[in-house]
Structure formats: structure tokens, C-alpha cells
Amino acid sequence: MKGNVIIGQSGGPTAVINSSLAGIIKAARVNGAEKIYGMHHGIEGFLKEDIIDIGDYIVEDSDLALLKRTPSAFLGSCRYKLPEINGHEDVYEKMFEIMEKYNIEYFFYIGGNDSMDTIKALSDYALAHDKTQRFVGVPKTIDNDLPITDHTPGYGSAAKFIATMMKEVIRDNESFGASKPTICVVEIMGRHAGWLTAAAALSKGDDCSGPDLIYLPEIPFDMDDFLARVKVLAETKSSVVIAVSEGIALADGRFVCELGGGADYVDAFGHKQLSGCATVLTQRIADVTGCKTRAIEFSTLQRCSTHMASRTDIDEAYNCGYSAFKAAQRGDTGVMVVMRVPDREVYTVSYETFDIHEIANVEKKIPREWITKDGTYVNERYLKYASPLILGALTPYFTRGLPKHLTLKNKKK
Amino acid sequence: MKGNVIIGQSGGPTAVINSSLAGIIKAARVNGAEKIYGMHHGIEGFLKEDIIDIGDYIVEDSDLALLKRTPSAFLGSCRYKLPEINGHEDVYEKMFEIMEKYNIEYFFYIGGNDSMDTIKALSDYALAHDKTQRFVGVPKTIDNDLPITDHTPGYGSAAKFIATMMKEVIRDNESFGASKPTICVVEIMGRHAGWLTAAAALSKGDDCSGPDLIYLPEIPFDMDDFLARVKVLAETKSSVVIAVSEGIALADGRFVCELGGGADYVDAFGHKQLSGCATVLTQRIADVTGCKTRAIEFSTLQRCSTHMASRTDIDEAYNCGYSAFKAAQRGDTGVMVVMRVPDREVYTVSYETFDIHEIANVEKKIPREWITKDGTYVNERYLKYASPLILGALTPYFTRGLPKHLTLKNKKK
């Protein structure tokens, strides 16, 4: 093959973002790539020519196996949005100069919604300026909010962690309650889409009653109705556990977390960082029921718990990376790899590519018909969709009793 | 053997409290116990004669294997302190009537500091009234704050979970920081003793730099010194992660969590429930450094994460339970099982018993000489002590992609 490869990772990390990296590296090596570079901290590092030779760190297949077991972005991530091409041609010219300097013909970016904008802008610029480089996006987000693809790598592992912890938290909460129930509110990530919070429902089974209520940002939150339901549960059950999305909001648009408590700040993409709605709700619940309450935030644990990753997710993330390389090799550019699932009973996946213009900055939410009529749970349709995504495990490599990771500190050459 | 067995679980659950239960059950069966009863929700349930026949749920060794993999108190727990004997003889008479009704000669209570008070009171009453029942305590607490015993079952698994999550959180935090560091404060359980927070130091190794600072409740917290240290770290590092105990307090005795934010309430034992010091600290840090901050609370996840339990801890918890039965069988009463560790290099444990009067209501803290001089980390002595306790894993039984548990819903008979 002609030219070198560069790979970047962007946005909030996941438990399997490094499996996609492993897939691209393996495919590039199998196909004779001479040099495989990594952007240190995504496009933000690339602009500063902060570039890593991946061959200094990853030499053998056993390194790739460890990379798959390493949480978070091995190469470092960023939250950096490229400027519009119009009026910022100098930025783009500089980027293509760097690519030419390193003889880069294959450019891969593993990321979510905002990151796919980078692939769009670079491939648009390349086409308009007769550049030969190919730009392919690899989907990655625990939020599962990318369109076209059936689901996103990272979601299955986050869902598995959430469902596992939910089972354990429910068991913990059920320990007490001999006289009065403890009411526990678990806050799960998700600004506008409830995919992660819905995963709490996967905990339900023979050995677990699941959360009592699930509130998603897709449905306007009715505080009075909520407190009335919790009051009934508190009077009839010895343990009450409720899953809520960080992004739940009242019908008038105010976020529940803004009703008291949690600190607010805005990230580099202009997203308001939300947290604290569980604390707000437990205070209201304590006032209404007099029961002991507990607010739990799964926080970033949801996106970095590779020790509880889904094997299905790890394999799919790897295959997405591998397929991205194959797509670039056959000449695709300005595309993202998408997964199709023709069958959910005999679960099968195919890997295709799709025009990046239809994907960047579009957000996929949970269909209304997958949520119960009263808006307080997800139904069988969601369970059928999500159940295959959490199957299987990949045992960590343990040293000194702890999962071992591959890091940029562990240079081999 | 003569008479039946009853077992209770009490206080905050752990990842291995059910392994101790499994050990007692196995020992009782091996020694020919006819009936093994469980108190539903500890002594609180016992007083209401809420008693379970364990044989209805646990029949085969495979049930015991699943019990070991089940987090939280299988029998249900409670936070219930028996009244003084003096003036409440009726309560004690009633309890012994229930024991006689069920022909109970062996009484085991798995719990921490407060729970050992129950063994003390009951064995004192029995001796004073010529009762034949034997009362043996089995240590259990993630807090590791029981005296005499080298460490407590439950601590090793909590420490393993904390160190594992700390590694994953540090990797997550290191992803960013291309321009400015994110400063993450992780709040870990521990009111007066810093054993759990100290476990964050176990994350440090070839592949992880560990947290930058560790603050324990044993050392008065100096806010100015803290902020000065964080400011220097923020100026020199691309990622800063700090571990703090929920119970850190200023020299004047005010808890850091009381300086703003967190809700306060008092539990049934009169303990103030602490939370929110990470939020207080991140707000101060943001003001001083202008960096993005993140507060994470491990919350109850620390005590229920059986999916990441230490095999060493599981085995020791089981052996403590087994030894408790053997102690009762040879006539011991008014004692708790304690672990001795004669050698930490070739790690060996012996199981003995100790007078409950020296144990109940006494709290063990981290020795000052195990903490660095400046009070911001633990040293090699702690690491030598704790490292063996987190070794080994016990793979969960998975169904539908999630760890399977044994519950009181799964009645066999």
C-alpha cells in the first residue's frame, strides 16, 4: 500500500475505543502499512504536530490484546471542533501540510457526533482541493446517539456496566428495609438521549426486580406525578431504586438538576455539563416520604470500566476499526463505518460505510414506542434491541490483583 | 451435634459477607447440623421472629458457590442496636424464648463494630442466666476498622474495587489535558478511618501513576495547604486526580463536606452521614485554578461490587465463617473470629478467636507512621500491609451477560 496511516481518538472515552484502534492497527499491518501514526490528543494534538509512532508502543499481537483491555483513549483524546473551512483555509492548509510531511494517505478518526464533523470537514476540503488522502470515521460513543448505525461501539460495555452495577446496587438497597425502605436514586449519563439510562432495565430478571422507575430525557419530567409514584412505592415496598438520566427536564425546559444543588458549567462544544439531579430528587423524596434516601451518580465510571466490558462490544469495536481501514483501502472517503443488524434473534452484524454528511451532528433518541405509555420505563422492544449487546466478557490481564493497562509510559523502543 | 444453628448479617453489606455465611453453612452441614436458620434482616428481624430456613434456598454446593458470588446481605441486614440489658430484661428474655422455640444452640452474627455489641450483650446475658447457647461473631466491614484482627473480611474486595476504579478513572482523566488539565476529586468512604481511601494508592504501578494526593480522616485537613498543592499540580501536570475520604475534617473539627453543598442526616446508630466533600473541594479548586473539575463519589458501589471481589478476601471471609462454627462447636462464646498474619511476604493467615469485650465499639485507625510526613499519601508500610489482600479473582457466573446472584426470591423448596 502507498502512504502512511494516522489515527486519532476524540470525545469522551469508552471502554472499547482502544479496541477500534487495535482493529485499525491490525488491518493496516496485515495490509503492509509502513508507518502507523497516532495523534496525541486527537485533532488538537495533530494541529500542534504532536504525533506518536504507534510502532514504538505496539509491536506484537500481545500488545494489541492488552490494548483491547485498556480503558479510555490510549492515544489521548480531545474535545476540539475544527473551524468552518470558509475563512479558516489556513488551518486546513496547515493540516494537509502536516499530512504530506508524514506521507499520510489514510486518516482515521474514532469518535462520536462532534468528532464526525472533523471527518466531514477534512474530506470536504480534500475533495475541493484535489487531495488524495482518505478520511474515514469510526463510531464511538457510550451515548449510542449516532444515526444510521444500529448502535455504537462503547454502548454495549457501558450498558453492561450500568446493568451490573444496578443489580449490585439493588441488592445492596434490599439489604435494609426491615421497617422503612431506603429510596435510592441512581443518576446515569445522557444529555438528550436516554440510551444509557434505559440500560438499567437490563438488570431485571429471575434474580433481580430491576429499578422501580426509569426516567429518560425523551419524556418531559413531571415532578408531582414522580413524587406521587414514589410515595406509593415507599408505602408498599421494602426497597425502592429509581434510575434517572442526568438530562431529565421539566416540560418548560428547565433541567431537574437546575432546581437546586448541582454546579453548572459549559464544555468546549457548548454543552451544558449536567449533574446533580439525583441529589435534587432525593431531597424532594425525603421531604415527601420521610424515608432514608441515597443519591448515586455512576459518573465517568460508566465510560471507563473496561474491567466489565462486553465481549460483543469489544469485538464489534475492533471490527469497526478493521472495516474502516478496508473502506479506506478500497477508496472510500468522507464516510463513517456503520453496523447493520439484520437479525437480533440469531444475532448477526454487517459492517458498511455511510456518507458522513448524514451523520455528523445528528442525534438519535430512543423511539417513543420503546418507552411505556406512562413514560416511566422502557418496554420489550428496547430489551430485544439491547440484550445482545452486553453478552460475553473479556477477562482482564491481572497484575498485583488489578487489571493491567497499556499506556504511553510503556514505550518499547 | 445438639441443637440448631442461626445466622444473622448486620450493618453495611460487603462484597463477601455472603462468603462468611457460606462458610458457616458448610461447617454446620459437615458437622451434622439438622436445621440452619437465618435471621431475616439481622437481630431486628429476629426480634419479630422473622426467621428463614436456609435449607429452603441453599441445598447443594453449587448454591454455596453462587452465594459466594452474590453481593450484599443474602439474609437481609439491619442497623439495630440492642438496648442495655439493665432495664430491658424483657427484650432479652424474649430473644432466648425464640431461641428455645427453634432449639437454637449456635448463634452467629456477621458484622462490624456495632454488630459485635449484639454478640457481647447476648453472651453476657447467657452467662449471667445459665443459658447454654453459644454466641460467636464473624468480622465483616469494608471499613477495616475492627481491632485485634489483622484486617476484616470485606476490606480486600472494597480495596480491589477502589484501586481498579482508580486506575480506570485516572486513565479516563489522562485522556484529556492537551491544553489544561482536568482536576478530578474522588470521594471514598470512611468516616474516621482512612483504610478505604488509602487503597487508592494500590493503583500506582508500572502502568499507572496513581492519585496525586491522598487525604485521610486521620490527619486534620488544611484547606490552604491543599489548594496550594493542587495549584502547583495544575501548573505542571496534564491530569490531576485526588483521593479524599468522606470524613476529612479541618483542625477545628468541622467536616469538609459541611463547608457547602452536601446534605446531612444521622443514621440509626447516631452516625452523621457524610457526603459531598469532593463537590466542596472541586468548587474551591475551580475558583483557584480555573481548570475543569470533576467530583466522583464511589458511594455504595464500594461495598457491593462482588463482580470485582478479591479471591483472597472471599476465601478469608469463608474461612472466618467456617472457623466461627468450629469455635462454637468447641464451646467458645462471647468471642469474635480474628485473623492473624504471621508473614506478609509468604502470605499466611491463621484464624483464632478473641474476647468480644475487647472488640465491640473499638475503632482501629491507620497508624500515623504509615502516612507520609506531610500527610498527603500513604507509604510503603501501608502498601506492604494491603497488597496481599486484593490478590486473585473469582469469575462471576454470567447469565444474559450479567453476573448472576442468589436471592430470597429463588426458593428451592
- Please report the ipTM that was assigned to this predicted complex: 0.94
CA distances from B184 to B38, B106, B131, B170, B358 (A): 43, 49, 56, 9, 40
Band of the pLDDT at A258, cuts 50, 70, 90? confident
For A28, phi and psi rounded to 5 degrees? -65, -40
B194/B375 Cα distance (integer angstroms): 12
Residues in chain B closer than 8 A to A13 (CB atoms): 171-172, 175
Residue in A13, A392, A409 nearest the CB of B175:
A13
Contact criterion met (CB < 8 Å) for A402 and B171: no
> pLDDT of A335-380, one tens digit each?
999 999 999 999 999 999 999 999 877 889 999 999 999 999 999 9
Active site annotation includes A143 = yes
- A77 contacts in chain B (CB < 8 Å): 175-176
Residue pair A183/A240 in contact (Cβ under 8 Å)? The answer is yes
Average pLDDT, chain B: 94
Characterise B138 by phi-psi region: left (phi > 0), alpha (psi -120 to 50), beta (else): beta
Is B202's CB within 8 Å of A400's CB?
yes
A353 part of a folded domain: yes
Q: In this structure, is residue A381 part of a structural domain?
A: no
Nearest to B325 by CA among B65, B4, B106: B106
Last residue of a domain, one of A304, A328, A349: A304
Sign of the CA dihedral with B181 first, then B300, B67, and B4 last: positive
Closest CA to A287 of B111, B265, B303: B265
Nearest to A402 among B164, B399, B400 (CB): B164
Query: pLDDT value at position B411?
Result: 84
Q: Tell if the CB–CB gap between B76 and A265 is shorter than 8 Å.
A: no
> Is residue B302 pLDDT above 80, yes or no?
yes
Q: Is the pLDDT of residue A260 over 80?
A: no
Residue A377 placed within a domain = no
Average pLDDT over residues A105-130: 95
A79: which chain B residues are within 8 Å (Cβ-Cβ)? Answer: 176
Q: Does residue B376 lie within any of the structural domains?
A: no
CB contact (8 A) between residue A165 and residue B301: yes
Q: How many CA atoms lie within 13 A of A89 on its CB side?
A: 4
Torsional sign, CA B237, B240, B244, B250: positive
CA distance to partner chain A, nearest, from residue B384 (Å)? 12
| pLDDT for residue A1 | 80
In eight-state DSSP terms, residue B80 is -
Q: What gap in Å lies between CA B36 and CA B105, rounded to an integer?
A: 11
pLDDT at B263: 44
Q: Return the DSSP state at B74.
A: T
Give residue B409's pLDDT band: very low, low, confident or very high (50, 70, 90). Answer: confident
Please list every residue in chain A whose beta carbon sits closer than 8 Å to the beta carbon of residue B305.
165, 168
Whether B206 sits inside 8 A of A300 (CB atoms) is: no
Q: What is the pLDDT of residue A266?
A: 47
Q: What pLDDT was estimated at residue B262?
A: 41
Res. B271: pLDDT tops 60: no
Q: Which residue of B has its CA nearest to A161?
A: B402
Q: How far apart are CA B404 and CA B156, in angstroms?
A: 21
> In this structure, is residue A9 part of a structural domain?
yes
Residues of A in contact with B71 (CB under 8 A): 168, 171-172
Of A77, A296, A391, Cβ closest to residue B300: A296
User: At A201, which helix (H) or strand (E)?
Assistant: none
- Report the residue count for chain A: 413
Residue-level pLDDT at B364: 94
Q: Are residues A249 and A335 in the same domain?
A: no
> Per the CB < 8 Å rule, is B399 touching A179?
no
CATH label of the domain that carries residue B345 = 3.40.50.450
Position A29 scores a pLDDT of 97
The grid coordinates of residue A29 equal 499491518
**Residue tagged active-site, from B143, B145, B313, B332:** B143
* Chain B partners within 8 Å of A306 (Cβ): 168
For range B182-194, the mean pLDDT: 95
Inter-axis angle of helices A277-289 and A223-236, nearest 10:
60
**Average of pLDDT values for B258-262?**
65
Total number of domains constituting chain A: 2
Q: What is the pLDDT of residue B261?
A: 46
Q: How confident is the model at residue B272 (pLDDT cuts 50, 70, 90)?
A: low
A53: left (phi over 0), alpha (psi -120 to 50) or beta: beta
- Residue ranges of E strands in B319-379: 335-343, 348-355
**Cα first-last separation, chain A:** 24
Sheet with strand A4-9: strands edge to edge: A51-53, A36-39, A4-9, A104-111, A134-139, A335-343, A348-355
Q: How far apart are the first and last CA of chain B?
A: 24
Q: Could you tell me the sign of the dihedral formed by the alpha carbons of A310, A316, A320, A326, in that order?
A: positive
Q: Are residues B229 and B320 in the same domain?
A: no
Rounded Cα–Cα distance for residues B68 and B70 (Å): 6
Cα A107 to Cα A127: distance, rounded to the nearest angstrom? 14
**What confidence score (pLDDT) does residue A177 get?**
83
Confirm whether B346 is domain-assigned. yes
Report, as an integer, the average pLDDT of B233-255: 96
Count of pairs with CB atoms under 8 A, one residue in A, one in B? 218
A132 and A161, same domain (yes or no): no
Q: Which of A172, A186, A291, A293 to mutate to test the interface with B (most CBs of B within 10 A)?
A: A172
Q: Are residues B207 and B77 in the same domain?
A: no
CB contact under 8 A, B392 and A401: yes
The predicted-structure confidence for A198-237, as pLDDT tens digits, reads as follows 999 999 999 999 999 999 999 999 999 999 999 999 999 9
Contact list, A49 vs chain B (CB under 8 Å) = none
Q: Is residue B209 part of a domain?
A: yes
Cβ-defined contact of A390 to B409 (cutoff 8 Å): no
B42-99, pLDDT tens digit by residue? 999 999 999 999 999 999 999 999 999 999 999 999 999 999 999 999 999 999 999 9
Cell readout for B314 is 472471599
- Note whether B221 and B162 are same-domain residues: yes
What's the average model confidence in pLDDT over A117-141? 97
Which residues of chain B neighbour A264 with C-beta distances below 8 Å? none
Residue ranges of the alpha helices (H) in B209-355?
223-236, 277-289, 301-304, 311-329
Residue-by-residue DSSP string for A309-344? -BHHHHHHHHHHHHHHHHHHHTT--SEEEEEEEEET
Nearest of A237, A227, A243, A224 to residue A289 by alpha carbon:
A227
Cell numbers standing for residue A73: 483513549
Least confident of A135-149, A363-377, B256-270: B256-270
Asked if A110 and A21 touch (Cβ cutoff 8 Å), the reply is: yes
pLDDT at B70: 97
Which candidate from B77, B209, B400 shows the least CB-CB separation from A387? B400
Q: Could you give the C-alpha distances from A337 to A147, A157, A282, B174, in angstroms and in order? A: 11, 19, 42, 27
Residues B19 and B45 grouped into a single domain: yes
What whole-number percentage of chain B has pLDDT above 70? 96
The answer, yes or no, to whether residue A3 has pLDDT greater than 60, is yes
Helix, strand, coil shares, percent, chain B, to 5: 40, 20, 40
Question: How much is the pLDDT for B274?
Answer: 53
Same domain, A114 and A176: no
Do residues B143 and B162 both lie within one domain?
A: no
pLDDT at B370 over 80: yes
| Coil, helix or strand at residue A23 | helix
Out of B70, B209, B310, name the one closest to residue A401 (CB): B310
Average pLDDT score, chain A: 94
Question: Which three cell numbers mark B209?
Answer: 501513576
User: What is each CA distance from B20 to A343, B119, B337, in whole angstroms?
Assistant: 45, 16, 11
- Indicate yes or no: CB of A299 within 8 angstroms of CB of B301: no
- β-bridge pairing A293-297 and A51-53: unpaired
Which residue range is the domain that position A137 belongs to?
A: 4-141+306-362+393-403
Residue of B nearest to A178 (CA): B41
Cell of B90: 424483657
- Minimal Cβ distance to B283: which of A263, A310, A395: A263
At residue B273, does pLDDT exceed 70? Answer: no
* Cα-based torsion angle of the residue sequence B15, B44, B133, B106 in order, rounded to the nearest 10 degrees: -30
| Contact list, B51 vs chain A (CB under 8 Å) | none
- A293 and A325 both lie in a single domain: no
The residue of chain B with its CA nearest to that of A163 is: B402
Cell reading at A63: 500488545
Residue B275 in this model has a pLDDT that exceeds 80? no
Check residue A146 and give its pLDDT.
93
Residues B145 and B171 in one domain: no
- B10 lies in the same domain as B134: yes
Q: Is residue B374 part of a domain?
A: no
Mean pLDDT of the B212-227 span: 98
Question: Which of B172, B237, B238, B257 would you mutate first to test chain A, the one with the most A CBs within 10 A?
Answer: B172
Question: Of the candidates B175, B296, B304, which has its C-beta nearest A77's C-beta?
Answer: B175
Q: Is the four-CA dihedral B38, A292, A265, A139 of positive or negative sign?
A: positive
Residues in chain B: 413
Residues B149 and B159 in one domain: no
- Nine-digit cell at A124? 470536504
For residue A259, pLDDT beyond 90: no
Torsion of CA B84, B87, B89, B95, to 10 degrees: -40
CATH for B169: 3.40.50.460
The verdict on a CB contact (< 8 Å) between B78 and A176 is: yes
- The residue annotated as part of the active site, out of A114, A117, A143, A315, is A143
